[in-house]
Amino acid sequence: MNPSVPPGAEVVFLDDPWQGGFDMAIIAELWFRDRRTRVLLNRVSHLPPEEIAKAGAVFTWRDGKLIRVR
């Protein structure tokens, strides 16, 4: 998967393979190459459903693979 999001998007990761840190957020910020993109980790922030619903992109990890939810 080669994920892309619009510049300045808010991106939510529902789950990530690196528990206990912000590795997923750092990797995503580097991947998207846009300092305006806001990466939120649901595991850390415990986002309410309304916050997830308004995100520009939502991803999760399943069986070691990155899956775009929407």
**Computed from CA positions of residues 16, 17, 20, 25, in that sequence, does the dihedral angle turn out positive or negative?**
negative
**pLDDT digit string, tens, across residues 9-67:** 999 999 988 877 889 999 999 999 998 999 999 999 899 999 999 999 999 999 989 99
**pLDDT digit string, tens, across residues 58-68:** 999 999 899 99
Answer yes or no: are the C-beta atoms of 68 and 61 closer than 8 Å: no
pLDDT > 70? residue 1: no
Q: What is the pTM of this model?
A: 0.88
Answer yes or no: are the C-beta atoms of 42 and 49 closer than 8 Å: no
Query: Reduced to 3 states, what is the DSSP secondary structure of residue 6?
Result: coil
